[in-house]
């Protein structure tokens, strides 16, 4: 019988350089990203505040964020670096 008080292992999400990310962190984009459907590019160095980590990654997109000039979208942790 399973122990109801046992902690569930939560996967650790790391940025492009190996820093652990948590909900609410501020990150910067480390490479230009073409945005499908929006006809634009998110430039290197764009600062994104208040990220939310997704438990179930969709095609490798494990961060939900509001990107300035583009709105809400999902990002891959491999294209961001923790700021600060």
In the chain, what are the domain boundaries? 1-84
| Stronger pLDDT, 30 or 12, i.e. the higher one | 30
* Predicted TM-score (pTM) above 0.85: no
CATH architecture of 1-84: Roll (2.30)
Beta bridge partners of 74: 64
Note the pLDDT of residue 3.
60
DSSP assignment string, the chain: ---TTPPPPPPPPB-TTSPBP-TT--EEE-S-EEETTTTEEEPTT-EE-S-EEEEEEETTEEEEEEETTTEEEEE-GGGEEE--
Note the pLDDT of residue 55.
86
Dist. CA 51–CA 2, nearest whole Å: 33
pLDDT, mean over the chain: 88
Q: Using the predicted structure, report yes or no on whether residue 66 has a pLDDT greater than 60.
A: yes
């Amino acid at each position: 019988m399973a122990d109801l008080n046992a902690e569930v292992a939560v996967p650790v999400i790391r940025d492009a350089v190996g820093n652990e990310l948590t909900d609410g962190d501020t990150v910067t984009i480390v490479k230009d990203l073409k945005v499908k459907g929006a006809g634009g590019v998110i430039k290197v160095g764009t600062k994104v505040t208040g990220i939310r980590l997704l438990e179930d990654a969709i095609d490798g997109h494990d961060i939900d964020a509001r990107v300035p000039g583009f709105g809400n979208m999902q990002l891959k942790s491999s294209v961001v670096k923790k700021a600060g």
